[in-house]
Amino acid sequence: MSTDLGAARAVDAVKTYGKGDAAVHALAGVTVSFPTSRFTAIMGPSGSGKSTLMQCVAGLDRLTTGQTFIGDVELSKLDKTQLTLLRRDRLGFIFQQYNLIPTLTAKENILLPLTLAGREPDQAWFDSIIQTVGLGSRLGNRPSQLSGGQQQRVAVARALVSKPQIVFADEPTGALDSRTGVEILSFMRRMVDEAGQTIVMVTHDPHAASYADNVLFLADGRITDEMQNPTAELVLDRMKKFEV
Amino acid sequence: MFSLAWRGVRFNIGRYVATLVAIMTGVAFFAASGFVADRVISALEGDVDRQYGNVEAAVVVDTSGDASPEAAYRLRIDGDSADAIAALPEVEAVAGDLTGVVAFLDDDGSAVSSEATGRLWIVDDALNTVDIVEGAAPVAAGEIAVDRGLADDENLAVGDSTTVLTSAGPFEATVTGITRFGEADSQDSGGTVSLPAATAFDWLNSGQVEYTALYLRGTVGQTELRDAVAPLAPAGFTAQTGDEFRDDKRVEVGGIGRLLKRALQFFSVLALLVGGFVIYNTFNVIVAQRMRELAVLAAIGATPKQLKRSLRFEGLVIGIIGSALGVLAGFALTFGMIAVLEQVGVALPGSGLEVAPATVIWAMLFGTLITLLSVMLPARQAGRAEPIEALRQAEASTVSVGKVRTIVSVGLVAVGAVGMLIGGGAAVIGISGIVLFVGVIVCGPFIAVAGSALMRPLLRGFGLEGRLAADNTARNPHRTATTSNALLIGVFLVTFVSVAGTSVRDYAVAEINALSTADFVIESTGGTVDDTLIADLQAVQGVEAVTPFRREAVTLNIEGTESSTNLSTGDIDALRAAAGIDLEEGSFDDLGTGTVLLAAGQFDSAAVGSTATFTNSVGESVDLEVVGIIGFTLDSMVTGSITDVATFDGFVGETAPTVAFIKTVSGAQSDTRDEIERITKLRPDIALNEGNQLGRIIGAVFDFIINAVNGLLLMSVVIALIGIVNTLTLSIIERRRELGLLRVMGMVDRRVRRMVRIEAVVIAALGTVSGIVLGTFAGFAMISAIDRLSDADIGISIPPVLIGVVLVVGVGLGLLAALIPAQRSTRLDVLEAISST
């Protein structure tokens, strides 16, 4: 894996909605690299373009101009099917709305990316994930029988089970109570430290951002600042500075 | 509230498309069948006015009595009676009706246009039904006029010579005129050949001056004219005024059209009912999806009544729009149907569209009513919206099957099935059938759950898509059930009609074939089986014997019980050798003057020694002593009772033979048949029947009915197809987030679409398979009930090919129905899909 360029990056990324006078720049020329085996948080107020940046890098949306890469693959060169397969084989996703398939059991939901790819799970890896997220006895249940926190654990386990190059998380704790949120975040932290997982997380919660190795601050579609080894207080201070 | 409902329709128009199409299709079928049938009826009735418009009185066969149709058919008005009527001062002009079968001889010696009708030319212009459009009326012997259609088909022009084949033999004739019948070429379906009085009686009626009916114009009023003529009408005939006559005639000719109309509309209403399932489903889904909106309304103070009313009003608007569009589509469909029929060579009588206001009104009413009824339950659901629902997460929910439904449906199915199998009367069995059917419909959600569980192993081959598709069908079993039930109804009826129909057909054909012995039967209508014909047939290679016999239609009375039958006579030994004439009781040797061999069948009580009274068509009767009972066979049906020649001569007169059995040497059938056919074709009055022909005709009639019913049921299948499209489309809207997630996780669009297709196939298969199972069972139960309640022994024939076709078509329809929803399932952008609520 090329560590110079990072696990994923964006070069002069521009995303514009609308045309002419009505044009809105969600991304106004962002160049950024997400380093391998690191936990990066993207922060910013609503409308700053943080979600758009993540979605474009993750191959869920396309840029107006500029380039995004997963490893050394340039996403704009891929068609829809190739993008889908790339997501399946190399990326993991965690959403705010747990987004589980209601007809599948917890275990089936976790294995979904592997099932889609027709791959056999690595049993040892599967077991260790299950143990870490603590779902052992709940594997046979359907999402409707699980609490919000449990559902999100299933979603996290699902994002990790295929050993993706990068996990993208969009407000993963947004719908959880604070205690459950802490558990999920600690778990994500451990995966970076112990398994060298690369994680990119979009959040507006300074406390959540404090679990990351570094934090990118976005405003009006541009990166305005960056912070290494953040704490919740430092991040909150920085955020307040934006507001003023 | 109404403006809210109206907006509901406008903003949800996308969701209502399938509903509108379903209503539209049903109403269009209904309207179109009305339009077509009305056109046929009015054309046929119009013919009556064109043909008999100037008739002021008529002397026709009295059908009010209990004379048999066959006897009535042979009744004639003799020339003297006709002359006496014509001589009345009240009568201004008389037209005698006399027709017979004629044909033309082709250059190569074979008969052509063998279905043409020869008609006595009517001299009185007002009473004549046809107009001369070219040339002149036929007057002298050897002159004929042909209608425009025949002239074109046979390349006949005024002045041409041709050979006319009649029951009296071939005659040379010259065409003097070309006729037309109003706007049509001919009044008879096979063409009309007009013959002058000079030849008509010789060619059509063995030289006898007789008429089948008289049409009169008078110098006095209709009633007065009728009363003057009535005393002179011969026995079996009655006098009517022109108006009475035309009314009767209209009912007679319009009857077929009305029957057609009723049958077509029955199937259209069935299709509309199937449409009801589609409508019900749509509104159910719409209510579920709009629960939040409804709950907000409830929260801000809308009463349940208002919510219900609002939804019903939506249903009403949709019903009216759909029905109106349906009537319009009905016009298009009518033209389409007429065009298709013309392409395959069937010209419907009449022209243009016959738009009866009643058809339009009924179509609108049915369409709207069914929509309104289908929306009742969903509307109640809407009325139950609680304000709290507004706060809940709207998810594509999983619904389970209730306990009450389980008990009720299992009970209904069990009671219905047992009732059909052991029921002791037609009413019990019929009601059991309905109970069973309702049970299966109510059972639908159950079948959906069980079916999807059963199909899961099968679908595993399709990977995750198969698995998810199976799950999705079981997810909302009610919705799946309503969708597949719409298909079930059509498939059930197709299978039921096919299984029961095929079984009865096979039984009837086998029974009939077992009864026949003579290889061929020839019968003359209006002519005789004369010596030349017999000699010609005898000369055919492979013919062993030709056995002619004399026959008369009679009424038979034994101990007060009357029935219509035949009385025949001929060479008894020859008849026994040629055909299956055998005695169950008595002896052939006893047959002498004043005795009869009675054909069994109608008179179980008749025994040797009893007295049978025969009455001929002119009302003369004779008492004969029964000396034998003829066993029932097809041949004995042809002969009827048999008496000796002297008795027959005394009762009927010295008539010529009109029927003959032909026996062929075994193994020579095919060539012999062709030769016999060639000879009999030259005599248009002779009908040739093969011994097993009745079996074949009955088989063909059954096949036709089975196919026609199945064809008409296609209407409801088409609507069921729309239902599958509808349900899947709505489900996809409901599940767009889930589908989006699968695509984010790496399910390529091709696989997403395949998942939708599999789901469609599963739904279609559920409806098809349960329809086939139910239909086969009902067919089996029906046949065994017939066997149980009568002394018949009908075996069950399950037509494997047809069931295979139904299965393939059902599942294929599922694939077809998936086209649109599958396309739509991946149309949304991934991001939009996962961010939607």
Q: How far is B291 from chain A (nearest CA, A)?
A: 19
In angstroms, the CA B712 to CA B267 distance is: 6
Name the closest residue on chain B to residue A88, using Cα atoms: B746
In angstroms, the CA B779 to CA B785 distance is: 10
Lowest mean pLDDT among B17-26, B112-121, B374-383, B765-774: B112-121
- The residue whose two tokens read 């040629």 is B578
Q: Cα B352–B355–B360 angle (5° rounding)? A: 145
Q: Are A92 and A158 in contact (CB under 8 A)?
A: yes
Percent of chain A with pLDDT over 90: 14
Which chain A residues are closer than 8 Å to B745 by Cβ? 87-88, 93, 112-113, 116, 158
Per-residue pLDDT at A22 exceeds 90 = no
Percent of chain B with pLDDT over 90: 4
Name the closest residue on chain B to residue A55, using Cα atoms: B831
- The ipTM assigned to this model is 0.82
Q: Is the four-CA dihedral B465, B466, B471, B475 of positive or negative sign? A: positive
Name the more confident of B2 and B255. Answer: B255
Tokens encoding B538: 């005898």
Average pLDDT over residues A161-180: 86
In angstroms, the CA B107 to CA B162 distance is: 10
Q: Are A160 and A191 in contact (CB under 8 A)?
A: yes
Q: Are B523 and B687 in contact (CB under 8 A)?
A: yes
By Cβ distance, the residue of A97, A103, A158 closest to B472 is: A103
How does DSSP classify residue B639?
H
Which chain A residues are closer than 8 Å to B742 by Cβ? 101, 112, 116
Chain A segment 72-131 residues within 8 A of B by beta carbon are 80-81, 84-85, 87-89, 93, 95, 97, 99, 101-104, 112-113, 115-118
Q: Which amino acid is at B146?
A: V
Q: How far is B830 from chain A (nearest CA, A)?
A: 7
Per-residue pLDDT at A176 exceeds 70 = yes
Which chain B residues are closer than 8 Å to A104 by Cβ? 468, 471
Best B392, B744, B762, B831 member to test A by mutation, with max A CBs in 10 Å, is B744
CB atoms within 10 A of CB B532: 10
Nearest to B395 by CA among A104, A101, A154: A101
Lowest mean pLDDT among A188-192, B622-626, B733-737: B733-737
Q: Are B496 and B773 in contact (CB under 8 A)?
A: no
Q: How far is B748 from chain A (nearest CA, A)?
A: 6
Which chain B residues are closer than 8 Å to A158 by Cβ? 745
pLDDT for the residue B71: 53
pLDDT for the residue A199: 94
pLDDT digits (tens, 9 = 90+) for B690-742: 776 667 777 777 887 788 777 777 777 887 888 888 888 888 887 888 888 88
pLDDT for the residue B347: 64
Could you tell me if residue B94 is left (phi over 0), alpha (psi between -120 and 50 degrees) or otherwise beta? beta
Which chain A residues are closer than 8 Å to B746 by Cβ? 84-85, 87-89, 113, 116-117
Which chain B residues are closer than 8 Å to A55 by Cβ? 831
Per-residue pLDDT at A244 exceeds 50 = no
Q: Are B810 and B760 in contact (CB under 8 A)?
A: no
- The residue whose two tokens read 């017979």 is B100
Lowest mean pLDDT among A221-235, B623-637, B750-764: B623-637
B396 touches chain A (CB under 8 A): yes
pLDDT for the residue A4: 55
Helix (H, G, I), strand (E, B) or coil at B553: strand
State the Rg of chain A over Cα: 18
- Continuous segment of H or E residues that includes residue B173: strand B169-180
Q: Is the four-CA dihedral B96, B100, B106, B108 of positive or negative sign? A: negative
Could you tell me if residue B741 is left (phi over 0), alpha (psi between -120 and 50 degrees) or otherwise beta? alpha
Instruction: Give the C-alpha distances (Å, rounded to integers) separating B538 from B480, B532, B533, B550, B664.
Output: 69, 10, 8, 18, 10
Name the more confident of B11 and B77. Answer: B77
Which chain B residues are closer than 8 Å to A102 by Cβ? 395-396, 398, 475, 738
pLDDT for the residue B394: 46
Q: Cα B304–B309–B312 angle (5° rounding)? A: 130
Phi and psi angles of residue A210, each rounded to the nearest 5 degrees, phi first = -65, -15
Could you tell me if residue B207 is left (phi over 0), alpha (psi between -120 and 50 degrees) or otherwise beta? left
Best A53, A57, A84 member to test B by mutation, with max B CBs in 10 Å, is A84
pLDDT for the residue B602: 54
Average pLDDT over residues B166-188: 81
> Is A87 close to B745, i.e. CB distance below 8 A?
yes
Give A2's pLDDT tier (boundaries 50, 70, 90). Answer: very low
Q: Cα A202–A204–A209 angle (5° rounding)? A: 70
Residue A190, C-beta contacts closer than 8 angstroms, at least 6 positions apart: A132
Q: How far is B824 from chain A (nearest CA, A)?
A: 16
Q: Which of B181-185, B232-236, B343-347, B357-361 has the highest mean pLDDT?
A: B357-361
> Is B745 close to A81, i.e. CB distance below 8 A?
no
Name the more confident of B264 and B784. Answer: B784
Q: Are B805 and B813 in contact (CB under 8 A)?
A: no
pLDDT digits (tens, 9 = 90+) for B49-68: 877 888 888 888 877 655 45
Q: Which of B188-192, B517-521, B773-777 has the highest mean pLDDT?
A: B773-777
B830 touches chain A (CB under 8 A): yes
Name the closest residue on chain B to residue A170, using Cα atoms: B835
- Continuous segment of H or E residues that includes residue B224: helix B222-229
pLDDT for the residue B3: 67
pLDDT digits (tens, 9 = 90+) for B304-323: 888 888 888 888 888 999 99
Q: How far is A86 from chain B (nearest CA, A)?
A: 7
How does DSSP classify residue B184?
B
> Is B745 close to A116, i.e. CB distance below 8 A?
yes
> Is B749 close to A80, i.e. CB distance below 8 A?
yes
> Is A87 close to B395, i.e. CB distance below 8 A?
no
By Cβ distance, the residue of B395, B464, B472 closest to A116 is: B464
Residue B236, C-beta contacts closer than 8 angstroms, at least 6 positions apart: B61, B62, B65, B67, B72, B75, B617, B618, B619
Q: Please provide the DSSP assignment of B151-165 as one string.
A: HHHTT--TT-EEEEE
Helix (H, G, I), strand (E, B) or coil at B617: coil
Which chain A residues are closer than 8 Å to B750 by Cβ? 81
Q: How far is B813 from chain A (nearest CA, A)?
A: 26
- The residue whose two tokens read 């994002």 is A159
Nearest to B563 by CA among B614, B610, B604: B614
In angstroms, the CA B123 to CA B216 distance is: 12
Name the more confident of B483 and B695. Answer: B483
Q: Cα B478–B483–B485 angle (5° rounding)? A: 90
pLDDT for the residue B797: 80
Per-residue pLDDT at B786 exceeds 60 = yes
Terminal CA-to-CA distance of chain B, rounded, Å? 26
Name the more confident of A3 and B19. Answer: B19
B828 touches chain A (CB under 8 A): no
Which chain B residues are closer than 8 Å to A95 by Cβ? 741, 834
Per-residue pLDDT at B412 exceeds 70 = yes
Task: For strands A198-202 and A39-43, give the pairing.
Answer: parallel
> Is A115 close to B831, i.e. CB distance below 8 A?
no
pLDDT for the residue B693: 65
State the Rg of chain B over Cα: 34
By Cβ distance, the residue of B463, B738, B746 closest to A88 is: B746
B746 touches chain A (CB under 8 A): yes
pLDDT for the residue B361: 92
Q: Are B484 and B767 in contact (CB under 8 A)?
A: yes
Phi and psi angles of residue B91, each rounded to the nearest 5 degrees, phi first = -90, 125
Q: How far is B771 from chain A (nearest CA, A)?
A: 28
Q: Are B567 and B647 in contact (CB under 8 A)?
A: no
Give A204's pLDDT tier (boundaries 50, 70, 90). Answer: confident
B748 touches chain A (CB under 8 A): yes
Q: Is the four-CA dihedral B239, B243, B247, B253 of positive or negative sign? A: positive
pLDDT digits (tens, 9 = 90+) for B268-292: 887 788 788 778 877 877 777 777 7
Percent of chain A with pLDDT over 70: 96
Instruction: Give the C-alpha distances (Å, rounded to integers) separating A173 from A180, A227, B49, B572.
Output: 8, 21, 87, 106
- A83-121 burial string, b = 16+ CB within 10 Å, else e? bbbbbbebbbbbbbbbbbbbbbbbbbbbbbbbbbbeeeb
Per-residue pLDDT at B69 exceeds 70 = no
Query: How confident is the prediction for chain A on average, in pLDDT?
Result: 85
* 3-state SS record for B288-307: HHCHHHHHHHHHCCCCHHHH
Give B799's pLDDT tier (boundaries 50, 70, 90). Answer: confident
pLDDT for the residue A3: 43
> Is A116 close to B749, i.e. CB distance below 8 A?
no
Query: How confident is the prediction for chain B on average, in pLDDT?
Result: 81
In angstroms, the CA B124 to CA B94 distance is: 7
Q: Are B175 and B191 in contact (CB under 8 A)?
A: no
Q: Are B32 and B337 in contact (CB under 8 A)?
A: yes
